[in-house]
């Protein structure tokens, strides 16, 4: 390689990167050294060469698994490169000690690992440990801390990860369904969280049950789905104190029933699922399920989770969760004056916050204006304000707006101009609960709900009556204020034996003072949360 | 004239496209060429070659952003001119730019893990994306637009030495990233 190769690669930088270099540098202010220190810190971190995989150990599913008809196996070390499984000791008592170490070094991180370590546990996924981002060391006085963080970050987020293949079609199909049908209520959902649950569900099915799910997830086969899900999981997992994005999954089995070892093992290994077995319908077992869900969602969704429980008919339940916390990359501050929000039921007076950025993109599309703002850790939050007189739901039927909402390519191809932007946004805290059965049926998934068509043979054949999906529920909550974005989501899918009836420089400003859409994305533009705000005070 | 209209003229093979491009982007491309080569005598020739290259490339190309598309053509022509020049010393701008980029070349890595050209582009883009805004701005100003270090130091209100150090840190950071990705020597 020659320096000319680097020169040529620089030539091929994207337009938006090149545009960044059009503006003159800002003159340093007295506080320059401080700011530069922070920047240099970020850069110096990048100077660490080499990736050394953490010695996350592979181990076994052991202990009670044999009693439950699940054979112990030596998992493939490569497949478990980023995690370990800890066999459950007999009569293990939960302890105060944090078992998996997640967040041990970081007081902001949602605590995990206590609730899922108990008498019902068969195997517990231990999530990747990440060294904390040295937030308070902009001068790199502790180089070892920076080295440790960078090593862990690179191990989990390889830059060549290709995890969003086929996601566009899934998002285009599912997001309009997830965000419609709530009338004038606020709405929020996590398409990423639902994807993980549906991927696990596909693993437990065969025949047309599986085919319908693979079609919705837009993957040709299970092998591809496994690779994709694992890559998605890892690309979106971050727990370094700067960005907290924790994904977790679990599988809840019926005590005494025989399950297909290979499928259970697969869910544990490729989907990072913790596995439990207990008496279905038993209150202690349900309490464990709720504890696990509350732990993994930072107790943000307790109101919804308290109603969740498995019944005596349940054969198995699949759960996926997501917890997200990031501060703004820039700074929002509260607006002192009272501003009205023109909601569908009249004006309200939520708290507004404001951020002024010198060179921000203001996007203009057919029927909407939009702007984005950075979140620590590389993600962004975009706000789409429909033109006056237009409802947010109308934008979901507008191809350009939908592309903008769902993909980086949609955003980069949108008309935009660089402006000094004053972005005024109401603070909001919204949650929503969605019946996924109706949504899945509208998305073409039918067989898993029908006794004569559902095929769960990859999960178990130890059933007297046909197994169908009896419950599929998604819940999400997002809190947006001047500190940043805090969110959580869960998806639970229950399979039961009893058949059930499914239910149905230039300057510009953008003031979101009427109903709008939002999306929170990861560092490559993949939507983590999407939603509609009709009334931020609700 | 709007960029879309100019591009339409190219697509219709209307030679007015070149006149309009020269009128609108002549100064811009001249600055890029001048920054890169540091040789005002060749500037005009490079810029004229840019219009010809655009004429030959559109269609089939249909650039999203005409300004940066033309800037890229100018950069490509500048590096070609430098490559075939008998007296490279004449092009002081390019000599110093490439000399700085030498720092970025990674040390010993396994050739089997080397990145191909497209992967190098992606790796660089990822690295640029991860930079803080001001550092991204600085990197692109220096290494894409070719703005001299002295001018950048004046803009930032710091000494030339301090700016050199800042750029050097950026290059070391990029080098580390390329080594981590297994870019070939």
Does residue B27 sit within a domain? yes
- Give tens-digit pLDDT for A496-511: 875 444 444 677 888 8
Residues A98, A223, single domain; the answer is yes
What number is the average pLDDT over the span B25-50?
85
B165 touches chain A (CB under 8 A): no
**pLDDT at res. B62:** 85
Are the beta carbons of A248 and A289 closer than 8 angstroms? no
Question: Would an 8 Å CB–CB cutoff place B8 in contact with chain A?
Answer: no
pLDDT score of A141: 67
What are the chain B neighbours of A5 within 8 Å (beta carbons)? 117, 120
Question: Within a domain: residue A1?
Answer: no
Domain assignment present for residue B94? The answer is no
User: What pLDDT shows up at residue A296?
Assistant: 92
Average the pLDDT over A324-352 and give the result.
89
Query: Considering its fold, how many domains does chain A have in total?
Result: 2
The verdict on A303 and A289 lying in the same domain is yes
Q: Do B81 and B140 belong to one domain?
A: no
Residues of A in contact with B146 (CB under 8 A): none
Over residues A52-69, the mean pLDDT reads 29
B11 CA: distance to closest CA in chain A (Å): 20
CATH number for position A488: 3.30.497.10
- B51 min Cα distance to partner chain A (Å): 18
At residue A66, does pLDDT exceed 50? Answer: no
In a domain, B92, yes or no: no
Report if residue B63 sits inside a domain. yes
pLDDT value of residue B117: 67
Query: Quick check: B156 and A25 CB within 8 A?
Result: yes
> What is the pTM (predicted TM-score) of this model?
0.62
Q: Which of B68, B139, B156 sits opposite A27 (nearest CB)?
A: B156
Residues B63, A418, A357, A517: is their CA dihedral positive or negative? negative
- CB-CB neighbors (< 8 A) of B157 in chain A: 27-28
Beta carbons of A124 and A61 less than 8 angstroms apart: no
Residue B86: its pLDDT value, please? 63
Any domain includes A209: yes
Taking a C-beta distance cutoff of 8 angstroms, is the pair A73, A58 a contact? no
CB contact under 8 A, A9 and B138: no
DSSP annotation string for chain B:
--HHHHHHHHHTT-THHHHHHHHHHHHHHHHHHHHHH--HHHHHHHHHHHHHHHHHHTTT---S-HHHHHHHHHHHHHHHHHHH-S-GGG-HHHHHHHHHHHTTS--S--GGGPPPHHHHHHHHHHHHHHS-HHHHHHHHHHHTS---HHHHHHHHTS-HHHHHHHHHHHHHHHHHHHHHHT---
- What's the pLDDT band for B112 if we cut at 50, 70, 90? very low
Q: Mean pLDDT, to the nearest integer, of B30-41?
A: 82
- Measured between CA atoms, how close is A128 to chain B, in angstroms? 20
Q: Among A3, A15, A49, select the one facing B179 at the smallest CB separation.
A: A49
| Domain identity same for B7 and B79 | yes
Minimum-distance CB partner of A42 among B102, B132, B174: B132
* Among A1-5, A238-242, A278-282, the range of highest mean pLDDT: A278-282
Across chain A, mean pLDDT equals 77
Nearest to B123 among A25, A35, A159 (CB): A159
Query: Does B107 share its domain with B143?
Result: yes
Q: Residue A156: which residues within 8 A CB-CB, separation 6 or more?
A: A82, A128, A130, A234, A235, A237, A238
Residue A386 pLDDT: 94
On whether residue A35 sits in a domain, the answer given is: no
Q: What's the pLDDT score for residue A23?
A: 77
Q: Is the pLDDT of residue A364 over 80?
A: yes
Give yes or no: residues A385 and A321 share one domain.
Answer: no
More confident residue, A105 or A392: A392
B131–chain A Cβ distance below 8 A for any pair:
yes
Chain A nearest-CA residue for B66 = A15
What's the confidence (pLDDT) of residue B31? 87
pLDDT, tens digit (0-9, with 9 covering 90-100), for A216-228: 999 999 999 988 8
Looking at the structure, do residues A369 and A485 belong to the same domain, yes or no?
no
Work out the percent of chain A whose per-residue pLDDT is above 90: 35
What percentage of chain A has pLDDT greater than the value 70?
78
Q: Which of B58, B87, B116 is the last residue of a domain?
A: B87
Q: Note whether A46 contacts B120, CB cutoff 8 Å.
A: no
Residues A494 and A460 placed together within one structural domain of the fold: yes
CB contact burial A191-226 (16+ within 10 A = b; e otherwise): bbbbbbbbbbbbbbbeebbbebbbbbbbbeebeebb
B134 and B175 in a single domain? The answer is: yes
Specify whether A257 is located in the same domain as A393.
no
Question: Residue A7 is nearest to which of B65, B79, B173, comparing CB atoms?
Answer: B79
pLDDT reading at A252 higher than 70: yes
CA distance A27 to chain B (A): 4
Chain B neighbors of A243, CB-CB under 8 A: none
Report the domain count for chain B: 2
Is residue A27 included in any domain, yes or no? no
Q: Which two tokens stand for residue A413?
A: 């191809």
Give the model's pLDDT for residue A77.
Answer: 25
Q: How far is B81 from chain A (nearest CA, A)?
A: 13
Does pLDDT of A534 surpass 50?
A: yes
Q: Does some domain include residue A26? A: no
Question: What pLDDT, in 10s, does the model give residues A113-157?
Answer: 434 456 677 777 777 788 888 877 765 667 778 778 877 877 776
Q: Does the beta-carbon distance from A160 to B156 stay under 8 Å? A: no
Question: Do residues A305 and A345 both lie within one domain?
Answer: no
Rg (CA), chain B: 18
Whether residue A30 lies inside any domain: the answer is no
Chain A hits for B137, CB-CB cut-off 8 Å, are 20-21, 23, 25
Give mean pLDDT, residues A412-430: 87
Residue A185 confidence (pLDDT):
85
pLDDT of residue A458: 92
What is the tens place of the pLDDT at every residue in B139-152? Answer: 999 999 999 898 89
Residues of A in contact with B133 (CB under 8 A): 20, 359
Asked if residue A109 and residue A258 are part of one domain, the reply reads yes
Q: State the residue range of the domain holding B117.
A: 103-181
Residues 9-48 of B with CB under 8 A from A: none
Residues of chain A found within 8 Å of residue B175, distances taken between Cβ atoms: 47
Contact indicator for A386, A368 with CB cutoff of 8 Å:
yes
Domain check: are B11 and B72 in the same one? yes
Q: Report the residue from A5, A24, A35 with minimal CB separation from B120.
A: A5
Per-residue pLDDT, A239: 85
* Structural domain includes residue B98: no
Range of the domain at A226: 47-328+429-504
Give mean pLDDT, residues A464-472: 87
Q: Quick check: B134 and A14 CB within 8 A?
A: no
pLDDT of amino acid A161: 56
Is 80 exceeded by the pLDDT of residue A99?
no
Kindly report the CATH number assigned to the domain that includes residue B61. 1.10.1740.10
Q: What is the pLDDT of residue A107?
A: 30
pLDDT for position A42: 30
**Chain-chain contact of B72 with A26 (C-beta, under 8 angstroms):** no
What tokens does A128 get? 């990747």
pLDDT at A93: 28
- How many angstroms separate the CA atoms of A112 and A244, rounded? 12
Query: Half-sphere exposure of A419 toward its Cβ, with a 13 Å CA cutoff?
Result: 19
Tell me how far apart the 2 most distant CA atoms of chain B are, in Å: 52
Q: B41 vs chain A: nearest CA distance in angstroms?
A: 22
The verdict on B81 and B144 lying in the same domain is no
Choice between A11 and A161, residue whose per-residue pLDDT is larger: A11
Range picked from A54-58, A254-258, A291-295, A417-421 for highest mean pLDDT: A291-295
Given an 8 Å threshold on Cβ–Cβ distance, is A20 in contact with B137? yes
Residues B163 and B113 grouped into a single domain: yes
Q: Is residue B97 part of a domain?
A: no
A231 lies in the same domain as A362: no
Residue B16 lies in a domain: yes
Instruction: Give bridge partners of residue A334 from the DSSP assignment.
Output: A353
Chosen from B25, B29, B62, B68 to mutate, greatest number of chain A CBs within 10 A: B68
| B175 touching chain A per CB within 8 A | yes
* Inter-chain Cβ pairs, chain A and chain B, closer than 8 A: 151
Give the residue from chain A lying closest to B132, CA to CA: A39
**pLDDT value, residue A118:** 61
Q: Are residues A395 and A259 in the same domain?
A: no
Cβ contact, residue pair A39, B135, below 8 Å:
yes
Does A4 contact B83 at a Cβ distance shorter than 8 Å?
A: yes
Q: Please tell me whether residues B15 and B73 are part of one structural domain.
A: yes
Nearest to A395 by CA among A485, A513, A480, A518: A518
Question: Residue B100: closest CA among chain A residues belongs to which residue?
Answer: A3
Question: CATH no. for residue A518?
Answer: 2.30.39.10
Judged against a pLDDT cut of 50, whether residue B29 lies above it is answered with yes
Do B164 and B126 belong to one domain?
Answer: yes
Q: Tell me whether residues A1 and B121 touch, CB distance under 8 A.
A: no
Q: Is A7 in contact with B97 (Cβ distance < 8 A)? A: yes
Q: Minimal Cα–Cα distance from B157 to chain A, Å?
A: 5
Say whether residue B106 is in contact with chain A using an 8 A CB cutoff.
yes
Where residue A487 falls among pLDDT bands split at 50, 70, 90?
very high
Q: Do residue B137 and residue A28 have CB atoms under 8 angstroms apart?
A: no
* Residue A97, pLDDT score: 31
Q: Which of these, A83, A92, A183, lies nearest to A130 by C-alpha position?
A: A83
Do A314 and A358 reside in the same domain of the chain? no
Model confidence pLDDT, tens digit, residues A24-43: 787 654 333 333 333 333 32
Q: Give the distance from residue A8's alpha carbon to the nearest chain B alpha carbon, in angstroms.
A: 8
Interface probe for A, chosen from B27, B70, B125 (most Cβ of A below 10 Å), is: B125
Q: Cβ contact (<8 Å) for B155 and A24?
A: yes
* Mean pLDDT, range A360-364, rounded to an integer: 87
The reply to whether A419 and A442 lie within a common domain is: no
* CA dihedral sign of residues A72, A74, A80, A85: positive
- Say yes or no for a CB contact (<8 Å) between B152 and A25: yes
pLDDT tier, B156 (very low <50, low <70, confident <90, very high otherwise): confident
Residue A46 pLDDT exceeds 50 = no
């Amino acid at each position: 390689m020659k320096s000319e190769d680097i020169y040529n690669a620089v030539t091929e930088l994207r337009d938006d990167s090149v545009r960044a270099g059009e503006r003159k540098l800002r003159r340093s202010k007295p506080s320059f050294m401080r700011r530069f220190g922070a920047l240099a810190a970020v850069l110096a971190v990048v100077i660490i060469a080499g990736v050394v995989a953490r010695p996350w150990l592979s181990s076994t599913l052991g202990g009670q698994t044999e009693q439950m008809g699940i054979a112990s196996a030596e998992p493939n070390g490569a497949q478990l490169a980023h995690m370990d499984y800890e066999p459950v000791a007999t009569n293990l008592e939960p302890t105060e000690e944090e078992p998996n170490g997640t967040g041990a070094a970081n007081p902001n991180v949602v605590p995990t690992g206590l609730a899922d370590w108990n008498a019902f546990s068969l195997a517990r996924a231990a999530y990747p440990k990440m060294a904390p981002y040295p937030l308070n060391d902009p001068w790199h006085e502790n180089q070892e801390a920076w080295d440790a963080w960078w090593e862990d970050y690179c191990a989990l987020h390889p830059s060549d990860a290709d995890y969003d293949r086929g996601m566009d079609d899934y998002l285009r199909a599912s997001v309009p369904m997830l965000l419609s049908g709530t009338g004038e209520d606020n709405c929020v959902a996590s398409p990423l969280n639902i994807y993980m649950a549906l991927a696990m569900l596909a693993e437990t099915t065969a025949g047309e049950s599986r085919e319908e799910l693979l079609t919705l997830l837009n993957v040709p086969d299970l092998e591809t789905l496994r690779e994709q899900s694992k890559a998605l999981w890892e690309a979106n997992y971050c727990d370094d104190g700067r960005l907290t994005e924790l994904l977790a999954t679990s599988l809840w089995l019926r005590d005494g029933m025989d399950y297909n070892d290979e499928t259970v093992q697969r869910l544990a290994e490729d989907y990072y699922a913790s596995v439990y077995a207990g008496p279905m319908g038993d209150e202690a077992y349900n309490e464990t399920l709720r504890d696990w869900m509350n732990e993994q969602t930072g107790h943000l969704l307790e109101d919804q989770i308290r109603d969740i429980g498995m019944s005596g008919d349940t054969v198995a339940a699949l759960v996926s969760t997501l917890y997200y916390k990031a501060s703004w990359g820039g700074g929002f501050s509260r607006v002192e004056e009272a501003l009205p929000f023109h909601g569908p039921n009249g004006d309200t007076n939520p708290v507004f916050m404001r951020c002024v950025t010198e060179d921000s993109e203001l996007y203009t599309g057919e029927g909407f204006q939009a702007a984005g703002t950075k979140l620590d850790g590389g993600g962004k939050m975009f706000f789409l304000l429909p033109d006056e007189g237009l409802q947010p739901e109308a934008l979901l039927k507008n191809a350009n707006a939908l592309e903008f909402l769902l993909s980086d390519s949609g955003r980069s191809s949108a008309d935009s101009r660089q402006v000094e932007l004053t972005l005024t946004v109401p603070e909001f805290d919204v949650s929503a609960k969605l019946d996924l059965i109706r949504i899945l049926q509208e998305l073409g998934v039918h067989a898993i709900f029908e006794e004569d068509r559902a095929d769960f043979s990859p999960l178990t054949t130890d059933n007297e009556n046909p197994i169908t999906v009896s419950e599929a529920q998604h819940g999400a909550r997002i809190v947006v204020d001047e500190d940043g974005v805090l969110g959580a989501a869960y998806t639970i899918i229950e399979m039961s034996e009893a058949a059930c009836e499914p239910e149905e420089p230039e300057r510009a400003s953008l003031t979101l003072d009427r109903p709008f859409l939002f999306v929170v994305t990861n560092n490559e533009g993949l939507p983590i949360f999407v939603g509609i705000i009709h009334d931020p005070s609700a | 004239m709007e960029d879309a209209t100019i591009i339409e003229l190219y697509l219709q093979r209307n030679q007015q496209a070149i006149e309009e491009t020269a009128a609108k982007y002549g100064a811009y491309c001249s600055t890029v060429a001048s920054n890169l080569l540091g040789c005002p005598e060749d500037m005009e020739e490079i810029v004229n070659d840019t219009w010809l290259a655009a004429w030959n490339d559109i269609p089939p190309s249909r650039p999203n952003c005409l300004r940066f598309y033309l800037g890229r053509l100018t950069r490509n022509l500048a590096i070609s001119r430098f490559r075939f020049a008998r007296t490279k010393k004449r092009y002081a701008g390019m000599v110093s730019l490439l000399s700085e980029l030498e720092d970025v070349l990674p040390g010993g890595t396994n050739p089997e893990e080397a990145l191909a050209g497209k992967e190098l582009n992606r790796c660089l883009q990822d690295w640029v994306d991860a930079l803080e805004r001001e550092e991204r701005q600085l990197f692109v100003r220096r290494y894409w637009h070719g703005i001299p270090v002295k001018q950048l130091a004046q803009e930032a209100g710091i000494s030339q030495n301090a700016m050199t150090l800042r750029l050097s840190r950026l290059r070391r950071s990029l080098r580390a990233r390329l080594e981590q990705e297994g870019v070939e020597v």
